[in-house]
Amino acid sequence: MVEKLDDVPDVEIDTGRFKYILVKVFPKRHQESHKYIVRGNRNAAYHGDILDDVEPQVSKLKLECDCVGGGRIIHDPEAKRLEVFGYSQGYGKADHAVTCEILKKKYPAYHITWSDCGY
């Protein structure tokens, strides 16, 4: 089961300012084996729109997912900076510290910060 979790990329985000969600991905009926992933894009009007994109992708791998919160990200690749903040009205605030740890794996050369401020 772990190998299927490894097939799900940890991070898929856009550049600029956008909504994001933190998602728990796990094998069906085995939530103890899980991983968290970060997804975000500029075109999402709602955090739920992002989850609507994630669910079919993980379902193809016979995995399930739960959104555990959301917020916003500012991604500036020229400055190598990521800023995580805010919350989702529908899913609540993601644990931004967890989100930043995941982002650091993909963007080790970036300056990554988070705060509970803003919407």
Q: Which residues are identified as catalytic? A: 47
Q: 2-114: which CATH number, 3.30.160.20, 3.20.20.70, 3.50.20.20, 3.40.250.10?
A: 3.50.20.20
pLDDT above 90: residue 80? yes
pLDDT tens readout for residues 10-66: 999 999 999 999 999 999 876 678 999 999 999 999 999 999 999 999 999 999 999
Average pLDDT for the chain: 94
Name residues whose C-beta falls within 8 Å of residue 103's C-beta, 6 or more positions apart in sequence: 11, 13, 38, 82, 84, 110, 112
Dihedral-angle region of residue 14 (phi above 0 means left; psi in -120 to 50 means alpha; beta otherwise): beta
Alpha-carbon distance of 47 to 19, in angstroms, equals 6
Residue type, 70: G
pTM of the model: 0.94
